[in-house]
Chain A
Amino acid sequence: MFYNNEIETLPRKELEKLQMTRLKKALEAAASTPYYRKLYSDMGINVSKITTFDHLQELPFTTKNDLRMSYPTGMVAVPISETVRMHASSGTTGKSTVIFYTRRDVDQWAEQVARAMYSTGARKEDILQNMMGYGLFTGGLGLHYGAEKLGCLVIPSAAGNSLRQIQLMQDFHPTIIHITPSYALHLVEVIKGQGIDPHSLGIKKAYFGAEPYSEATKDKLEQLWGVKAYNCYGLSEMNGPGVAFECAQQAGMHLAEDYYITEIIDPETGERLPDGTEGELVLTHINREAMPIIRYRTRDLTRIIPEPCGCGKTHRRIERIKGRSDDMIIVGGVNVFPSQIEAVIMNIPEVGNNYQIILDREEGLDRIHIKVELYSKLFKGDLKTLQKLNREIVEKLRALIIVTPRIEFMEPGSLPPSEGKAKRVFDNRVI
């Protein structure tokens, strides 16, 4: 029923016992690294005393900045000669963060992804077109190894070059695609522009990842592509894709709980929150030899779904990522998530898939200005209808985000399409 029946259906009690056994090992390994050795000795922490989930709270968090500060190998617990792979996240705000993997780590990561894919119904007969970036980014290679482990044929087409992607789809009939949601929105329009019905391509499943996106976008993408879409969550600090993945029930993402200890904290106070409460996801990697990262603050906001899933897995689920504690926009004192705005826009058929959120400050007041493209097929040809549509969008957004946005209609195709991570928010406010 599952890729790894024993582990994936392990009774909670035993799973938690396994977690503690692995935590002990991970903490010992961590304490041997230059970074954690110094940190724990400065704080007078003896890791051998940390034996329960509650004790874990005594340990400090690890942040992305800590990873940067220990660049390049300050958190590595094995000799570099024992590692076989490294990945790095983009270093737009300083040094990048680098993650190392031993052979066992790469294999365990592949198993994690293979389990996740299997739970969505993927089997060795499936063909995966992997349109995620290859290279230092974990998205491409992560799914690649997992799909290979499952026995699938992988088309490592990476992101971009839409016409070639379409050609590959027509010639090799992938049944699964792995793609960012913004590129999926773009590519489906290119496919239609070629006079091809996306539903005729034979693609059954889509794994969307690497960007936050709304449930409305997911629904829209399922419809446009004629696929079942499975949310997929990952971050390089915790391996990459496969950290949490939706099963065939499509009702939240199962964490690989034999790999991670999960906590939800209040991002303001750092206090641990009870299961079911929304907060920031904090993960401790307990199944990686090369880099056991302890209490990593993901900055991703979600909640644990405590109820068991209909699929029978005992590993708990998290809800779709609501946003990041650091991409939240504050407009006139109101917290706004781009994904909320996106959800509204995606539900309005007259406007297209691309949008931009522009923040300005006029006379000391925050203004939110949203550019959307008119969808040419539903253009009615008169101002009255457009003005009515404009008011409708403004009202819907105001009801949700409290602030009143200005909506600007753009010509179809005039907003830059994204073949990768889309930059949607432009904050022009001077602090």
Chain B
Amino acid sequence: MPHQVSVFAENKPGKISRVTEILSQNNINIRAITISDSGDYGIIKLLVDKPAQGNECLKSEGIASTLKDIVAIKIDDSPGGLHKAASILASNNINVEDAYGFTIREKNQAVFVFQVEDVPLTEKLLKNAGFELLSDSELYLL
């Protein structure tokens, strides 16, 4: 299963740049970024090419960072593409805690990345429904 780097950040100017500076200095490429905000503070979520290394270099700089298991699947970049996946999750009563997506222009495809409580179960359900699950390295090769 793929991993996302989750970083705790105070809601203040300069907090993203501190993270991106460390990643850039360590030659780590960011595939996607999203921020969950909660007033005073938030969590910066990053899909990077080397998640374990990215997490370690942030931690060694004193940043509260952790690796989070996520589910990433390929979907068609066309109407109803996401709905097909979402309805499988709905019919199996799986709650999506946080999600984001991005498209891959050349291939007319998109990637749907999300957090759930039970990652292996969700992966199994989607796999059985014919979805292509992505690993850390596959995510980056897109």
- A residues sitting closer than 8 Å to B (CB atoms) are 374-376, 379-384, 386-387, 408-414
B8–A411 CB distance below 8 A = yes
A413–B63 Cα gap in the complex (Å)? 9
Give the Cβ gap from A380 to chain B, nearest Cβ, in Å: 7
Given A382-B43, A382-B98, A386-B38: A412 in contact with B63 (beta carbons within 8 A): yes
Given A384-B97, A411-B8: A376 in contact with B65 (beta carbons within 8 A): yes
A383–B8 Cα gap in the complex (Å)? 9
B36–A379 CB distance below 8 A = no
Give me 20 A-to-B residue pairs in the complex whose CB atoms sit less than 8 angstroms apart, sorted by A's number: A374-B64, A376-B59, A376-B64, A379-B64, A379-B66, A381-B6, A381-B67, A382-B97, A382-B115, A387-B38, A408-B41, A409-B10, A410-B10, A411-B8, A411-B9, A411-B62, A411-B64, A412-B63, A412-B64, A413-B62
Nearest-neighbor residue (CB-CB) of A406 within chain B: B40
B6–A409 CB distance below 8 A = no
B41–A386 CB distance below 8 A = yes
A387–B38 Cα gap in the complex (Å)? 9
Q: A-B pairs with CB below 8 Å: how many? A: 56
Q: Say what secondary structure dominates the interface of chain B.
A: strand
A136–B89 Cα gap in the complex (Å)? 70
Give the Cβ gap from A51 to chain B, nearest Cβ, in Å: 63
Nearest-neighbor residue (CB-CB) of B38 within chain A: A383
A376–B6 Cα gap in the complex (Å)? 12
Interface string of B1-25 (1 = CB under 8 A from A): 0000010111000000000000000
Nearest-neighbor residue (CB-CB) of B69 within chain A: A381
A384–B38 Cα gap in the complex (Å)? 10
- Answer whether residue B127 sits at the interface, using C-beta atoms and an 8 A cutoff: no
- Residues from 81 to 99 in B contacting A, C-beta threshold 8 Å: 97-98
- Answer whether residue B68 sits at the interface, using C-beta atoms and an 8 A cutoff: yes
A384–B6 Cα gap in the complex (Å)? 13
A380–B38 CB distance below 8 A = no
- Which A residues are in CB contact (< 8 Å) with B10? 409-411, 414
The 9 closest A-B pairs by CB, nearest first: A381-B6, A376-B64, A381-B66, A379-B64, A381-B68, A408-B40, A413-B62, A374-B64, A383-B36
B66–A412 CB distance below 8 A = no
Give the Cβ gap from A250 to chain B, nearest Cβ, in Å: 34
Give the Cβ gap from B118 to chain A, nearest Cβ, in Å: 14
Q: Out of A384, A387, A409, name the residue touching B8 (CB < 8 Å).
A: A409
A382–B95 Cα gap in the complex (Å)? 15
- Which A residues are in CB contact (< 8 Å) with B98? 382-383
